[in-house]
Structure 1
């Protein structure tokens, strides 16, 4: 992707990579929760996710959706990029991210791969390159929080749902919207889509309310 040399992998190797990502993500969620002095019940209350879902994530028995990661990042006060795998760079730079040093997160069950384009340090925005496989999506329900989101379609098609209205975006199209607008996205085509995605961060994001909690509790991928 993006000019990177691609080494073919067999199915067994890919499954191994997925397992490593799943285990690392679970350990990260657990350590962040413990560092914050929170119980699984506390995180469930803050996110609207079920205690069973959080327990499965921590034990590497489930992979989250993009939306679930956002809920966890808000509850644990870290950027989503905190959940990404570490870069192979010997000395990560403070302000610069080289193409071959991007941190990567595979959300296999959701058909989404996210590459962090911003450095690991906390900031006011996050920048990603998203790769959506055919049928890939942010999850099964709408999500909303404070801040803004914007993006640019590099290739393929993205169906962006804003306040329950679908907008099909093609290569060269772009968007921006307040994150409080209920939103989700998917790739309804048979071609891979690539998107530059920008999210502004707000430390005052509220936990999911009752209606959202019921929806998020169903999100097990």
Structure 2
């Protein structure tokens, strides 16, 4: 299946990079919440997450799943790409994203890395290359919201759960579904999966379910 990629043990530099990324992500959530004039309780009410979880996320003592981050992006009225790390490359362009200038989001606890393929800023469309490590997942709960999602499996395998039914997708397979359908995904194999992932979302809409 796929290209046979496997995960190498993490070295000290990689661990330090992941920890720095976790800290930056927590600070970003806190700053966006404060900028919106929201308390932790306000965000908890909007997302359905506990105040303790949000507090831990902001202090980098807990890491969000893909689902949790999507809930936060809706509650804070920002694209999920606001949580991505800025590239060290050239000045970003308004309409174009160079491969060397992609912004990254590492959800180390979930085994997920997202690379933004769309420029920074709000829009109707979010476009990523998603890398899912063996055992990685979007989280343990199903999620639903407005809009649509679509994708294409570049390598490896992705198990996509739609309305509690599992669909095992291999390289070359693709999908599209209304985001109101309860969904989640994971990688139950021992190989890395790579997926092109597209999401449309009206940011003003509240999370469902």
Quickly name the TM-score band, shorter chain normalised.
over 0.9
Instruction: Tell me which moved more, 89-98 or 138-147.
Output: 89-98
For residues 154-195 of structure 1, the C-alpha deviation after alignment (integer angstroms, 9 at most, x for no partner) is: 010000000000000011100000000000000011111000
Superposed displacement of residue 99, structure 1: 0.5
Q: Please list, as runs of the form range in 1=range in 2, the aligned pairs for 1:1-221 lying within 5 A after superposition.
A: 11-208=11-208, 212=209
Local SS of the residue matching 1:27? helix
Instruction: Tell me which moved more, 45-54 or 84-93.
Output: 84-93
Note the aligned Cα RMSD (angstroms). Answer: 1.3
Distance between the aligned counterparts of 2:144 and 2:91, measured in 1?
A: 36
Superposed displacement of residue 89, structure 1: 2.4
Q: If the length of structure 1 is used for normalisation, what is the TM-score?
A: 0.89
Shift in alpha-carbon separation, 1:174–1:28, aligned structure 2, 3 A: same
Superposed displacement of residue 207, structure 1: 3.5
Distance between the aligned counterparts of 1:116 and 1:9, measured in 2?
A: 25
**Structure 2 residue ranges without an equivalent (≥5):** 1-7
For residues 99-119 of structure 1, the C-alpha deviation after alignment (integer angstroms, 9 at most, x for no partner) is: 111001111110111000000
Superposed displacement of residue 205, structure 1: 2.1
For residues 187-217 of structure 1, the C-alpha deviation after alignment (integer angstroms, 9 at most, x for no partner) is: 0111110000000021332235xxx4xxxxx
Which stretches of structure 1, 4 residues or longer, exceed 4 Å deviation after superposition?
A: none
> When the two structures are aligned, how many residues end up with a matched partner?
202
**Structure 1 residue ranges without an equivalent (≥5):** 1-7, 213-221
Local SS of the residue matching 2:152? strand
- Quote the residue 1:5 is aligned against: none
Shift in alpha-carbon separation, 1:10–1:147, aligned structure 2, 3 A: closer
For residues 64-101 of structure 1, the C-alpha deviation after alignment (integer angstroms, 9 at most, x for no partner) is: 00000000000001111100000112311010000111
Distance between the aligned counterparts of 1:114 and 1:201, measured in 2?
A: 17
For residues 42-77 of structure 1, the C-alpha deviation after alignment (integer angstroms, 9 at most, x for no partner) is: 000000000000000111111100000000000001
